[in-house]
Amino acid sequence: MHKSPIIQGIKQMLTKFDDIEKPEADTSDLDGWIVVEGNPSMKTQVLHTNKEKNMISGIWEATPGTYHATYSAYEFVHIIKGVIKITPDDGTSARTVSAGDTFVVESNFKGTWEIKESVLKHFDVML
């Protein structure tokens, strides 16, 4: 059976996370993230870097506790499980996000991430 060149082209342009070898998780705290309450821990797995090398995608996990986070890059987030209360330093209202929520964090964000229930999220970060 002959495959259409369009289908072949699409197949080459898609990477399904289930189909790739998972790298070892990085268990160090992210740059710009400082523990301010409790004893939380995090694990980060970068699963893909785009061909232009300006975006990464992966999985992040964290246990309960609070971090102060300083962002230097834009992030798209989809929460798979858990609950986080995010409070910006700029005085805007805190937001609570949980499983099923999708949101973005701008590159100049500073504030606290209170992990209320262990979290698993998918992320895309622009470098």
Share of the chain above pLDDT 70, in %: 91
Predicted confidence at residue 12, as pLDDT, reads 56
For 86, half-sphere exposure in the C-beta direction (CA atoms, 13 angstrom radius) is: 19
Predicted confidence at residue 1, as pLDDT, reads 44
Gap between the Cα atoms of 70 and 109, Å rounded: 6
37 sits in which H/E element: strand 33-37
Gap between the Cα atoms of 68 and 32, Å rounded: 8
Mean pLDDT throughout 100-114? 98
- Please state, rounded to an integer, the average pLDDT across all residues of the chain: 91
Question: Which residues on neighbouring strands pair with residue 15, listed in sequence order?
Answer: none
pLDDT digits (tens, 9 = 90+) for 78-100: 999 999 999 999 999 999 999 99
pLDDT of 15 > 50? The answer is yes
